[in-house]
Amino acid sequence: MSKPFGGNFSRRGPDVVTEELAAVLSANMSFEFKPLFDAVHANLRARKSAGGGEEMLRLRAYEKLQNLVQRGMVKKTVTKTRKEYRGLASLATLATAE
Protein backbone atom coordinates (compact mmCIF):
# COMPACT_ATOMS: atom_id res chain seq x y z
CA MET A 1 0.00 0.00 0.00
CA SER A 2 1.44 3.37 -0.95
CA LYS A 3 1.71 6.36 1.31
CA PRO A 4 -0.55 9.33 0.38
CA PHE A 5 1.20 12.42 -0.93
CA GLY A 6 1.33 15.53 1.18
CA GLY A 7 2.01 14.15 4.67
CA ASN A 8 3.28 16.46 7.37
CA PHE A 9 6.07 18.13 5.43
CA SER A 10 5.73 21.85 4.85
CA ARG A 11 7.83 23.85 2.40
CA ARG A 12 8.24 27.23 3.97
CA GLY A 13 10.71 29.81 2.88
CA PRO A 14 12.53 32.12 5.25
CA ASP A 15 10.38 34.49 7.27
CA VAL A 16 10.99 37.72 5.36
CA VAL A 17 8.91 39.86 7.73
CA THR A 18 11.08 38.91 10.72
CA GLU A 19 14.23 39.40 8.62
CA GLU A 20 13.18 42.93 7.67
CA LEU A 21 12.12 43.78 11.23
CA ALA A 22 15.54 42.65 12.46
CA ALA A 23 17.30 44.63 9.74
CA VAL A 24 15.44 47.86 10.50
CA LEU A 25 15.59 47.52 14.30
CA SER A 26 19.32 46.76 14.33
CA ALA A 27 19.98 50.39 13.28
CA ASN A 28 20.33 51.50 16.96
CA MET A 29 17.29 53.77 16.75
CA SER A 30 13.95 53.73 18.53
CA PHE A 31 10.83 53.45 16.39
CA GLU A 32 7.14 53.79 16.98
CA PHE A 33 5.19 51.09 15.17
CA LYS A 34 3.95 53.19 12.25
CA PRO A 35 7.40 54.44 11.07
CA LEU A 36 8.82 50.97 11.74
CA PHE A 37 6.12 49.35 9.62
CA ASP A 38 6.60 51.93 6.85
CA ALA A 39 10.32 51.09 6.66
CA VAL A 40 9.65 47.32 6.71
CA HIS A 41 6.91 47.65 4.09
CA ALA A 42 9.16 49.71 1.80
CA ASN A 43 11.94 47.11 2.13
CA LEU A 44 9.54 44.27 1.39
CA ARG A 45 8.17 46.06 -1.67
CA ALA A 46 11.73 46.57 -2.91
CA ARG A 47 12.30 42.81 -2.51
CA LYS A 48 8.92 42.13 -4.19
CA SER A 49 7.87 40.17 -1.08
CA ALA A 50 4.99 42.35 0.12
CA GLY A 51 2.09 40.15 -0.97
CA GLY A 52 -1.24 39.60 0.72
CA GLY A 53 -2.33 43.19 1.24
CA GLU A 54 -1.02 45.96 3.45
CA GLU A 55 -3.42 45.41 6.37
CA MET A 56 -2.60 41.70 6.60
CA LEU A 57 1.11 42.53 6.42
CA ARG A 58 0.65 45.11 9.19
CA LEU A 59 -0.97 42.49 11.43
CA ARG A 60 1.79 39.95 10.68
CA ALA A 61 4.51 42.54 11.35
CA TYR A 62 2.92 43.53 14.67
CA GLU A 63 2.64 39.88 15.71
CA LYS A 64 6.28 39.20 14.77
CA LEU A 65 7.37 42.34 16.63
CA GLN A 66 5.54 41.26 19.79
CA ASN A 67 7.18 37.82 19.53
CA LEU A 68 10.60 39.50 19.36
CA VAL A 69 9.69 41.58 22.43
CA GLN A 70 8.66 38.42 24.32
CA ARG A 71 11.89 36.66 23.32
CA GLY A 72 13.92 39.57 24.71
CA MET A 73 15.40 40.67 21.39
CA VAL A 74 13.54 43.99 21.23
CA LYS A 75 12.99 46.45 24.06
CA LYS A 76 9.57 48.07 24.27
CA THR A 77 9.46 51.44 26.01
CA VAL A 78 6.01 52.67 27.00
CA THR A 79 5.42 56.31 27.87
CA LYS A 80 2.16 58.09 28.46
CA THR A 81 1.65 58.99 24.81
CA ARG A 82 3.58 56.38 22.81
CA LYS A 83 5.28 52.99 22.56
CA GLU A 84 8.77 52.74 21.11
CA TYR A 85 10.74 49.69 20.04
CA ARG A 86 14.53 49.33 19.99
CA GLY A 87 16.54 46.31 18.86
CA LEU A 88 18.94 44.76 21.38
CA ALA A 89 22.27 43.00 20.80
CA SER A 90 20.60 39.58 20.58
CA LEU A 91 18.59 40.82 17.59
CA ALA A 92 21.81 41.40 15.64
CA THR A 93 22.61 37.69 15.97
CA LEU A 94 19.16 36.88 14.55
CA ALA A 95 19.70 39.25 11.64
CA THR A 96 23.08 37.70 10.77
CA ALA A 97 21.84 34.11 11.24
CA GLU A 98 19.09 34.51 8.67
Cα 18 versus chain centre, distance: 3
Question: What local confidence, expressed as pLDDT, does residue 6 receive?
Answer: 57
| pLDDT averaged over 10-residue windows placed end to end, the chain, 98 residues | 60 77 90 95 88 88 94 92 91 65
**How far is the C-alpha of 66 from the C-alpha of 12, rounded, in Å?**
21
In three-state form (DSSP H/G/I as H, E/B as E, the rest C), the secondary structure along the chain is CCCCCCCCCCCCCCCHHHHHHHHHHCCCCCECHHHHHHHHHHHHHHCCCCCCCHHHHHHHHHHHHHHHHHCCCEEEEECCCCEEEEECHHHHHHHHHC
| pTM exceeds 0.85 | no
- Report pLDDT digits (tens) over 13-30: 568 899 999 999 988 889
* Structural domain spans, the chain: 16-97
pLDDT of residue 5: 59
Q: Under CATH, what is the fold of the domain 16-97?
A: Arc Repressor Mutant, subunit A (1.10.10)
